[in-house]
Structure formats: structure tokens, C-alpha cells
Structure 1
Amino acid sequence: MARYVIFSMAIFLAFCMLSCIAQQQPCATYKFSNNKQFSSCSNLPVLSSSLHWNYHPSSNKVDVAFRHTGTGVNDRRWIAWAINPTSEGMIGSQAIVSFPRTDGRLAVYTSPITSYGTRLEQGNLSFPVLDLSATTQNNEMIIYASLELHGNISTVNHLWQVGPMSENTPMMHSVAPSSPNVKSMGSLDFLSGRITATRSSSSTMRNIHGILNTVSWGILMPIGAVIARYLKRFESADPLWFYLHVSCQLLAYILGGLAGFGSGIFLGARSHGIEHSSHKIIGIVLFCLATAQVFGGLARPDKDSKYRPFFNWFHFLAGCSTLILGIFNIYRGFDILHAAKFWRLAYSGVILTLLLATLLLEICTRWCMPVTKRSMSDTVDKNTSTVVAVAAMEV
């Protein structure tokens, strides 16, 4: 039995070793057509890319070759590899770009990234770049370069990207949360060869912004409106309906009006060159309407005041506008984030459920309750008439 266990463990370990070797093989055994050789390499986790390099610690110089596979004959796209000396994100990165021109020639140049709306314009980097070239072979593109890094450092933040072309102009790559383009960054140690993947903080903030606003504007606000419209018609629910309504709307205002709106401002400040004007304008209008509702509710006139009808109309119209604009802006946000179809369908299911509940409550309060009240009134009148008749007979 012990021999069987040892034999099984040996087979398992051998299989793991072979799997690791198989994964490393495309990178480690690759032969460059120009006979260049690199002592270190790594298969990058996304975008079908790999990086090869020779690091010279004495001069802090590194020779790199960035490879991207899977480019067909008619598949025109740009590729880029970059080092960011100041942060982990895209802004501030120093990129090397290459793409096939419409005339068949291969463009290769350096491009400093200063905004999210960049078209990868050519420019000088913050460190010298020598022996810059690019080639295409066997359905892959390769960028070669020698970098002279500042300071005695071996670990850098690096990024790599692939995107579409329009004539001879690189276009913006996908920014969907599920896209590999938002996961193509990490830290790289030229000395040890260790690569650590990181996730963009902006991508995480966008997801948080979307969740906060969906829960607040898209779910809590409609539930609060349904409570105010229908539960208050039941005498037994007074004043419970009011406290439930206020609690829902205040929680929605805190999550969406304060946290959601604040995260949107933060994202706008960091996303230089990226504008979603309609989404932004609707968000500002929603925040203003919700703020007016909150302060209007605190200063609402008494029920017997002559100004109470004006407040009721304002409260109703502002509330309806907030609901409609909020739901519309959530779907607009799904488009901006390129959210998976599941999330759109899930939210649509929530909205349809709320609409169905609203319809049933409308029927119940508009038709069933008046009939019930009428029946009870008729019964009371009949009983009263009977009592009066009996009393008259006795007299």
C-alpha cells in the first residue's frame, strides 16, 4: 500500500513538473529569426504576449524583446510595452509602440502616456532608448529595444497593451472590467525574473462606483417610492410607512448621492481625456434633485399649510424624475463599463419585479380597497337601518 502511495505521488509530481515545463516552453525555447538571445523571459498572463530580456546590473541597462502572438495577415493592431517609473497605472508610463502601416511598413517609436485619451503620439521618454526596432514573423509582432534606466533599480512597474487601428492611428483598447486589457500590468524584477500581476485601482473604483449607484438609485429609491405611494393607504401602516420611506431614501442618498457621486468625481479627475458627458450630466442632475428632496423634506410645510400642495407637487415630480433618470443612467453605466450580459439581465429582473409589484399594489389600492370599503359601508348602513326600524316598531 505504501509503495502504491509513493508511486502515485511520484507520478503526480512528475506530471506537475512536465506541466510547468510545457507552460515555459513557448517562452524559454523560442528562437528569434535575427539570432538574438535573451537569458531571461516570462510568458505574460494576458494578451498572448511574452517578454524576453538581458539585464546588465553594472550599467543598469536592459535589452528587451516584447512579443505578441496571434496577429494574422489582415489583422492590423498596435502593440505596446511600457515602464511606469512613478506609479502602477497607465498615466506616466513610458511606452514603446509598434503597428503595421497601411503601406505595409512597420512603425515603431516611443510614446510617453500623459492621459487616458492618448492616441499614442510619438515623443521622447524619461530615459534613453537605444536600438529600437520591430519585426513581424509567423503571425506575431516583436519589439526590440535597449533601455538605460535611471538609478540603481532592478524592479519596475510595467504594462503591455494591444489595440485596434484606424488607418495609421492607434485607437483606444477595451476598458471593460472583464477585458484582459485592464489586467495587463504588474511589477517586473529584471534581476530575479519575478513578475507579479496587479489590478488597476481605477478599474476597481469603477466597479465600486457602479455597484453603489445601482443599489442606491436603481433599487433603494424605487422601493422607497413604492412604500410611500401604497403603504400609506393602509391605516394600520401609519406612521410605519413614513419611517420606512425616509430610511430607504436617506440610505439611497448616502450610498448614491454622497458615496456614488463622490466616486464619480474621483474617477473623472483621474480619467484625463475620457469623457462620458451624458452619464456625467445626468449624475449631476440626480445629485441636485436628491439633495433638494432631502432638504425639502426637512423643511416641508405642515399638512394644513396653504403651501403644502406646492410641496407635494414638487416632491412628486422630483421623485419621478429621479427614478426615471436614475434607472436610465444605470443602463448607461452598464454600457460604459461593458458589463457582462448577466448583470444587465439581473438588474432588468429586479426592475421588472418592482414594476409587477407596483401594478399589483395599484390594482389592490385603486380597485379592491374601494370595493371593500363600499361593501363595509353598505353593511353598516343596513345594520343601522335595521336597528332604527326595530326601535320604531318597539315604540
Structure 2
Amino acid sequence: MVVTMKPILVFCILICLLVPSLALLSSSFSSSPCSNFVFPNDKAFASCTDLPTLNSFLHWTHKPSSRTLEIAYRHTGITSPKWVAWGINPTSPRMVGTQAIVAYQKPDGTMTVYTSPVNGYRTQLQEGELSFPVSDLSASFSNDEIIVFATLEVPDNTFALNHVWQDGPMNGNSLGMHDLFGSHLQSMGTLNLTSGQALASHGGDSNTVLKISHGVLNTVSWGIMMPLGFMAARYLKAVGPSTDPLWFYLHIALQLPGYIIGMAGGATGLLLLLHKSSGIHQPCHMGIGILLFCLGLLQVSALIFRPAKDHKYRYIWNRFHHGIGYTVLLLGFANIWIGFSILKPAVGWVIAYGVIFGAIVLSSVVLEVWKKLTRDGKTDAAQEVTISVNEAGGNTA
């Protein structure tokens, strides 16, 4: 039995699987993870912001009538002993002068939380009184996340505050020095109590935009458009002569723009590398990216150097082109997940691309099975025709 499938059915499968995934990715970009967080005992805050560095989030409620600011500072991704701190600097957005709240988990599992005025760069974050009253101080640790709760007393007519956050290693019960590069030098900003917004300082916003742009551009390029271009060539071509040259034009229409987008993503990665305060120094990720750029250039060059169909070396070029294509697919997927582990985006972004990745893999499996059934069906039909011809020739003889 010959299995057939029209090109429109292939497109329907891809659209049904991938469009919902792309919608999920879009919604995850537009939503704020901090607003979806549920605190224990249904505690709620009026405002929240995803801080641009150090996997941190700040929730707060400003009550002018009582001159209080209730805050919850969350620091996620804590997989090794670490201290965290958040504080307000009454004079400027910098570390020295910050009135901080420090928290960490002891080796016995209990939490320690206290106040510490930062009076110099070589501070050991010793416990001390702050320049303003603090109450309801507590901290918790669960699911690799420390949450610090506190109520601060702020002066009348306070509309904005300079705030600073930080983390560092623990050596038993002793606090180690935090890193002096990258995100650790960008963890400060301004908290607008009127608008409910938080703005980063000292270039933190530009670095964050670069990181997001780098991740989005490369994910769309190597993780979505390149695989779809591969699928268009492999599975539409298998439908039969009726899709020629449709499959080729669709293949080029997806992969050429995909490569250009990947070049733009590589440029943002280079800017991050050259920007000393970005904290991006990942030789493995960068090496794979450079290799992808070179291999992708070889693939795109097929538009110019591809031999004619009847050329005696066309089969060699086909093997070369297909082999590089498979390599680009595998390295592209691998580098995207490596990039996620480096940038540590909000979990919604990872889940959204995970759904897209799963849809691509699932649709490839379904279409690969269809392709095999189609090929086997054609082979069986050809064999039946051959047998019939032979039998007819024998009967004639």
C-alpha cells in the first residue's frame, strides 16, 4: 500500500504543534515572574520587580500614612551555602553607606537574619543598628531560595529610595567576600515608591537588554528557524515531485534569515564579551557559537557553490551539506541550553522554549515515521509492479 500526503497536511502538522508554543513563548516574555509568585500564608505586596542581576526579586508595599515600607527580598538559585543581603542607601546608589539586611542558612539548617550598616568597602557585614527602625525581620529558605521579610520606617514625603542587593559565599558560619566583577558590581538601583517601579543604575539596564537580546536572537535563529528550515527540506521533499522547488524555496526562506538573525545574536554576544562589567566569560559557549557561525556560513554558501543536479560530484556535495546540517542542528540546540544555564532567565522563558523544542522533536518524529512508511510503501509498490511485469513476460513466453 502506498502512503501519500499532500504538502498542506505537512504544514498543518507544523502549525498545530508550533503556533501554541510560540504563543506561550510570547506570553512568557510579556509577563513578570515576580507577579506570579505566591508567598506562604497568602502574604501579598502591592508592587514587585524582577531585579536585573543576581537572580533577585523585590516585593514591597509602601504605606505613607504609617511611614512604613514592607518588603520581601527573594534570592533564587542558591545551590551552595551563600549569604544574601538587601538594603537602602539614604545618600546614593552604592554599597558604602547602605543600611543592609543580611540572611543566610547555618550548617544546621536554621536561618540567621540581622541588620548591618555598611561603613566601608572591607566590611565583614557585622551586626549593628541601622539609621532607621526595622521590625518584623525574618527569613526562610526553601526550593533553593532565600526570602527576607522586613518592615522599614521611612521619612515623610519619601518618593524614591536607593537600594542595593548582593550575595557571597559562606565558610561555615563566616561570610566570605562577594565577587568584584560582573553582576556583583551592577546590583544597585532606584526604587520609586510612587510609581511602583525599580530602575537599575550604572549600566545595569544596558547589560540586561544585551543579555536578553542575545538569548532571544540566538534562540529564534538556531533553536527555531534553522530546525524548521531543515524540516521543510527533509519532509516536504519526501512528499514527491509536486513539492519541487517549493521545499527548496521554503528551506532557504527559513534558514537564510535564521542565519542573519544568528549573526545579530553573535554580535550581541561579542558586545557582552567586550563589556567587562557584564560578567559574561564563557569560553565553551563562545567556542560553540563561533563554530556555528562558520558552519552556518558554509551552509548558506550552498546558494552559490551548489553543483548542478547532473554534476558527477553532486552526491559528494549532498553528503557534505547534510552532514554539516545535522551538526549545526545538534550544536545549536546544545548551545541554547548552555546559554540558559549561563544567563539563568526566568523559568517561564525556559519552559516556553522547552515546549517549542519538544514540539519540534515530536513533529520530527511523526514526520520521520510518515517518511519511512511512504518510502516503504513506494518500495512495495515498485516491487509489485516488477513482479507483475516479470510474470506477464513469463506468461507470454
Deviation of 1:158 after TM superposition, in Å, equals 6.9
Q: How does 1:222-233 map to 2 (within 5 A)?
A: 222-233=227-238
Which residue of 193, 197, 200 corresponds with 2:199? 197
Deviation of 1:300 after TM superposition, in Å, equals 1.3
Partner of 2:214 in structure 1? 209
| Matches of 1:73 and 1:223, distance apart in 2 | 47
Change (3 A) 1:245 1:21: same
Deviation of 1:338 after TM superposition, in Å, equals 1.1
Q: Percent identity?
A: 28
Which residue of 63, 67, 87 corresponds with 1:49? 87
Deviation of 1:165 after TM superposition, in Å, equals 3.3
Which residue of 243, 260, 268 corresponds with 2:265? 260
Which residue of 247, 255, 275 corresponds with 1:249? 255
Partner of 1:20 in structure 2? 63
Change (3 A) 1:98 1:244: same
Counterpart check, 1:283 vs 2:283 = no
8 Å CA contact retained: 2:308, 2:314: yes
Change (3 A) 1:231 1:71: closer
Which residue of 81, 84, 100 corresponds with 1:68? 100
Higher relative contact order, structure no. (Cα contacts within 8 Å, ≥ 6 residues apart) = 2
| Matches of 2:316 and 2:241, distance apart in 1 | 25
Deviation of 1:71 after TM superposition, in Å, equals 3.8
Change (3 A) 1:184 1:319: same
Deviation of 1:20 after TM superposition, in Å, equals 3.2
Deviation of 1:287 after TM superposition, in Å, equals 0.6
Residues 140-187 of structure 1 show CA distances to partners (whole Å, capped at 9, x for unaligned) of: 9xxxxxxxxxxxxxxxx97733211355642339989xxx99663249
Partner of 1:171 in structure 2? 178
Residues 346-393 of structure 1 show CA distances to partners (whole Å, capped at 9, x for unaligned) of: 22222222222222222222223431564487479869999xx9xx9x
Which amino acid is 1:284 matched to?
I
Deviation of 1:50 after TM superposition, in Å, equals 2.1
User: Where does structure 2 lack aligned partners over 5 or more consecutive residues?
Assistant: 1-60, 75-84, 107-111, 139-160
User: Where does structure 1 lack aligned partners over 5 or more consecutive residues?
Assistant: 1-17, 28-42, 55-63, 82-94, 107-133, 141-156, 189-194
| Matches of 2:121 and 2:90, distance apart in 1 | 16
Which amino acid is 1:68 matched to?
A
RMSD: 4.5
Residues 212-240 of structure 1 show CA distances to partners (whole Å, capped at 9, x for unaligned) of: 10111011111111111121122211100
Which amino acid is 1:100 matched to?
Q
Q: Could you state the TM-score of these two structures normalised by the residue count of structure 1?
A: 0.58
8 Å CA contact retained: 1:52, 1:66: yes
8 Å CA contact retained: 1:78, 1:99: no
Q: How does 1:1-395 map to 2 (within 5 A)?
A: 20-21=63-64, 24-25=67-68, 48-53=86-91, 65-71=97-103, 75=112, 96-97=120-121, 99-100=123-124, 106=126, 135=128, 160-167=164-171, 169-172=176-179, 184-186=188-190, 197-198=199-200, 200-233=205-238, 234-256=240-262, 258-271=263-276, 274-372=280-378, 374-375=380-381, 378=384
